[in-house]
Amino acid sequence: MARKRYDENGNHGHGAGAGDNGDRWLISYADFITLLFAFFVVMYAISVVNEGKYKVLSDALGSAFGGQPETPQASSAIDALPLSGIIARKRAEAARRERERMNTLARDLNNSLMPLIQAGKVRVVQTGRGVSVEINASILFAEGQAALGEESRATLGTVAGLLKNDPHAIEVEGHTDNLPIASPLFPSNWELSTVRASSVVRLFIDNGIAPARLTAIGRGANLPVAPNDNEEGRARNRRVAITILTAVPEAANPLPG
């Protein structure tokens, strides 16, 4: 039989350092139990997909391992909405703001052009496309001509002053009656209406409106607002329409001029 070892004092032992390592297994066991507990908690959380339980789990594990639990934040009505609801809400708010801007612009134009509106020479109309200022050609151009007179420059200068710092795009349309025109400058009403629209655009540019915002269109006699079978109707059809285009087309409500 093997002899037992004794130290120099006669004490029985199992070898050097045995007494120092006798409790180390407890540390490994505790680590194992902690990991096993965490494993079962995670498995339980995954088995029931619930945002609230994930939040509780996160805070519990953070506290168990010495972290600071996250302070709960109050939920808002927007957070509870689905993504489509948030987008719809933002679009509605943008439409509301744009409608207010266009209403304000229409009021300012009405106030500035009131004498001509009362005389029946100008109409300010708000439609789904934006705010349109229809100016009778008789106060802008001589018959069959496209050069702006001094009075017309003053009228258009007033409009340009209101639109100079406005960000919206502007469409200028020239319209004629259905009576044919044939001259060296204007072979037809197409040329006459287009050059008239271009003359207004040029004046707007000279008054500080950015060229990139402007478009000149000749409509000829194709979009009458009155019958062309009498002089009164033809006079109404000879016009220039300046339309300030809304950024959100559905935002504008048609209003009578």
pLDDT tens digits, 19-45: 455 666 667 777 778 877 777 777 766
- Is the predicted pLDDT of residue 249 greater than 90, yes or no? no
Tell me the pLDDT tens digit for each residue of 177-188.
999 998 889 999
State the pLDDT confidence band at 194, using cuts at 50, 70 and 90.
Answer: very high
> Which CATH superfamily is 99-251 part of?
OmpA-like domain (3.30.1330.60)
> pLDDT-based confidence at 56, cuts 50/70/90?
low
pLDDT for the residue 37: 78
Model confidence over 199-215: pLDDT tens digits? 999 999 999 999 999 99
Q: Over 70: is that where the pLDDT of 234 sits?
A: yes
The percent of residues above 90 in pLDDT, for the chain, comes to: 55
**Segment 248-255 mean pLDDT:** 52
Least confident of 57-61, 229-233, 242-246: 57-61
Burial (0-12, 13-18, 19+ Cβ within 10 Å), 109: buried
pLDDT of residue 40: 74
CA–CA separation, 181 and 178 (whole Å): 9
Pairing mode of beta strands 239-245, 214-220: unpaired
pLDDT of residue 66: 61
Average pLDDT over residues 237-257: 73
pLDDT score for 79:
54
Whole-Å CA distances, 252 to 97, 133, 152, 186: 10, 15, 29, 37
pTM over 0.75: no
- E strand or H helix at 203: helix 189-206
pLDDT digits (tens, 9 = 90+) for 132-174: 999 999 999 998 999 998 889 999 999 999 999 999 999 999 9
pLDDT recorded at residue 68: 58
Domain boundaries, the chain: 24-64, 99-251
- What pLDDT sits at residue 180? 93
Element (H, E) at 69: none
Average pLDDT along the chain: 81
Q: Which of 70, 43, 39, 76 is nearest to 56 (CA)?
A: 70
Contact yes or no for 128/136 (Cβ under 8 A): no
